[in-house]
A = this chain, B = another copy of it.
Amino acid sequence: MSRVWNFSAGPAAMPQAVLERAQRELLDWQGCGASVMELSHRGKLFMGLAQQAEADLRELLAIPDNYAVLFLQGGATQHFAQIPMNLAGEGESADYVVTGHWGEKAVSEARPYVTVNVAASSKDENYLRLPPRASWQLNPRAAYVHYTTNETIHGVQFHDVPEVGDVPLVADMSSDILSGPVDVSKFGLIYAGAQKNIGPSGLVVLIVRRDLLERTTRPMARIFRYADHAANDSMLNTPNTWGWYLAGLTFQWLKEQGGVAAMRERNLAKATLLYDAIDGSGGFYRCPVEHAARSRMNVPFTLHDSALDADFLKASEAAGLLALKGHKAVGGMRASIYNAVPLEAAQALVDFMGDFAKRHG
């Protein structure tokens, strides 16, 4: 089979050009006679790759010098726990804004390490909208404010950075990092699992304002301390070298595409195409998420008759459209349209949806 259009929520589609390059050089990287996976992370070749990847990411997101950039392991889930371990002293509290499944999980993994104040939640509204900023019950003495910029399951996304005063803002950007420009200086810490917009799973990119690294005081193993990772250029222990390599190739690809400003335009075009098709389907398809909060990365939608779901999935797969099944928490369908999913893919999906509606209308 040839390549399909892949709408997987994550691990997700990667840029074809990146995969092709990785394939070409899989057994012999940089003419060294070995795979990039077979080299010491402390050798000159890999160190060069690692530094270039960091430099490219800094350029793409215009990351100020007073921020450290770390390439870590454990998935965002592990950092749900490590963030309070590092940013909150024992007995301190932190504010959490919960707008979907991942925000909930961030809270539950944080609880052993910090007193969690749920400052706002849209759970009572089934996470179909974002809680208005004015309703947030923030504590000015909180160690930090945590939120999730994009919720992959519920398909809600913040399109602006909320103002939270002097308390450091911590953002889980796993599913929308690099999808558009962001003012890093507004954040204390940004983190993202790689498997949506950066590379394969097993890698986490973490961007942290350096002064916050000094907060870590409670006893813990060095391997959990961000300050130690920063002091060792993310090589406190052996990093995920393959993940770092593919992240680097993806950053180069993003630069070739015109950077994150160009990605924002492209992502907006894909999302508009899909939401317009849903909203214009005369009720055949429906997206329950409030317009202003709709995600440009994950588009959840339902069919007017759920008895058609199985047919839709079968026919879409036969048409070369992969992984459209929605998460069981919300049902229906979901199209994830991260950076690596081209406009063509969104167009192919919209065409398929139109045909399907016609056949079953």
Contact = CB atoms under 8 A, between A and B. Distances in A.
B37 A238 contact: no
A77 B201 contact: no
Contacts of A109: 221-223
A356 to B, nearest CB: 20
A110 B237 CA distance: 15
Contacts of A78: 73-74, 221, 223-224, 237
B40 A323 contact: yes
A4 B241 CA distance: 20
Residue of A2, A26, A37, A241 with most partner-chain B CB within 10 A: A37
A11 B32 contact: no
Interface stretch (A13-21, A143-151, A280-288, A291-299): A13-21
A41 to B, nearest CB: 7
A1 interface: yes
A21 B228 CA distance: 38
Contacts of A16: 27
Copies held by the complex: 2
B11 A220 contact: no
Given A73-B75, A241-B201, A322-B33, A220 B4 contact: no
A53 to B, nearest CB: 15
Contacts of A243: 202, 240, 242
Interface residues of A, dominant DSSP:
loop
Contacts of A113: 221
A239 interface: yes
Contacts of A75: 73, 223, 237-238
A219 interface: yes
Interface string A237-278: 111111100100000000000000000000000000000000
B28 A11 contact: no
Given A202-B202, A222-B109, A38 B240 contact: no
Given A10-B40, A10-B238, 18 more contacts: A11-B39, A11-B241, A13-B38, A16-B27, A32-B322, A39-B323, A73-B74, A78-B223, A78-B224, A80-B221, A81-B220, A81-B224, A109-B223, A112-B220, A112-B221, A202-B238, A240-B240, A242-B242
11 contacts: A4-B33, A13-B34, A23-B27, A33-B320, A73-B202, A75-B237, A76-B237, A80-B223, A200-B242, A202-B241, A242-B242
